[in-house]
Amino acid sequence: MIKTLTPHGNSAALIIDKALLEVLHIEMDTPLEIVTDGENLIISPVRDNSRHERITKALDKINRLHGKTLKKLAE
C-alpha cells in the first residue's frame, strides 16, 4: 500500500484505511507510538497503559517547561 501525506494545518497527516485499523484493533483513542530507525517510520499501537501514562506525563512536563519556546519554534 502506498500513501501520501495530507496537509493538516501546519502539519502533515497520514490517513490509515479503516480495514487496516480493524485488523490491528486500533480505535480513534488508541495511543500510537511513532519511532524511526533513521530510514523508516514505525507506527505501533501502545497496549501497555502504564507506558502510555509515562509518555503523557513526560509530554506534559516538557510542555509546561518549554511550551512557549516550542510554540515560537513552530511559527
Per-residue model confidence as pLDDT tens for the chain (75 residues) = 899 999 999 999 999 999 999 999 999 989 899 999 999 999 999 877 777 788 889 999 999 999 899 888 888
- pLDDT at residue 56, as a whole number: 84
pLDDT of amino acid 47: 79
Rounded (10°) CA dihedral 58, 28, 75, 57 = -10
Q: How many CA atoms lie within 13 A of 16 on its CB side?
A: 14
C-alpha angle 51/12/32, rounded to 5°? 15
pLDDT of 17 reads 95
- Which triple of cell numbers denotes residue 8? 493538516
- Its pTM stands at 0.54
Query: Is 3.30.60 the CATH classification of the domain at 6-74?
Result: no
Each domain of the chain, given as residue ranges in start order, spans 6-74
